[in-house]
A = this chain, B = another copy of it.
Amino acid sequence: MPSLLLFSLDDKTSESKRERSFELERIVFFSDAVFAIAITLLALELRVPDLPIETSDALLRAIVSEWPKFLAFTLSFWIIAQYWVAHHRYFRHIFHYDVGLIWLNLLLLFWIVLIPFTTSVLGEYGNFTSAIWLYALNLIALGLSNALLWRHATQKHRLGASDLDELTIRQMQLRALSVSVAAVIVILLTFVVDGFATFGFLLIFVFQRLITKRYPSHAK
């Protein structure tokens, strides 16, 4: 019996099941709720079109002609999803919290909450440079906040993450910044290809995939 007991206690303190405090769980929980609401509100921009003549074909054409909105919606859904997965990845290694973490996390959420707005501008006026810039600036701020959060948590192994080596920490940092880099590239692209620069945002997923391929160890 004693060995069984030891095992059970041991199991509890192992990395994967180490208990987070109720307060840290609340921070994570609140963030999850904000991510979930922002990702669902994206679809509110997809509106039932008004039809000049009410026929089934007119409806079909009206919906198809809204493709830039669907593209913007899809893009933002997967970008927010990407950030949620990153948040998930970070907090798997964070076991403590301090005032800094709370406010940096709120700063990250501030930029997440703005995504539905910048997405709707992109969906409506995606052929305009200013709409692309607005969206790109949102992503740059998001990427920087994410990198700040991760640096704050891992510096001197402040908030846990003692199981991670310096190299992995830096690689996860690069990953966060890659979104900002992609957005900067898109801004530069607007000087060359104008309205089509929107497609440059797909670089985000290319970058993520490349990093995942390159460092499969921390892919999850």
Contacts and interface: CB of A to CB of B under 8 A. Distances in A.
A1 interface: yes
A70 to B, nearest CB: 9
A166 interface: no
Interface residues of A, number: 77
Interface of A: 1-2, 4-6, 8-9, 12-13, 16-17, 19-23, 25-30, 32-44, 46-48, 51, 54-57, 59-60, 63, 74, 77-78, 81, 84-85, 88, 91-92, 97-99, 102, 106, 109-110, 113-114, 116-117, 120-121, 124-125, 128-131, 134, 219-220
Given A5-B9, A57-B130, A32 B43 contact: no
A19 B45 CA distance: 39
Contacts of A6: 1, 4
Contacts of A88: 23, 26-27, 102
A113 B43 contact: yes
B129 A56 contact: yes
B21 A121 contact: no
A219 B102 CA distance: 11
A19 B13 CA distance: 13
A74 to B, nearest CB: 8
Contacts of A78: 106
A28 to B, nearest CB: 7
Given A2-B1, A8-B9, A88-B26, A99 B219 contact: yes
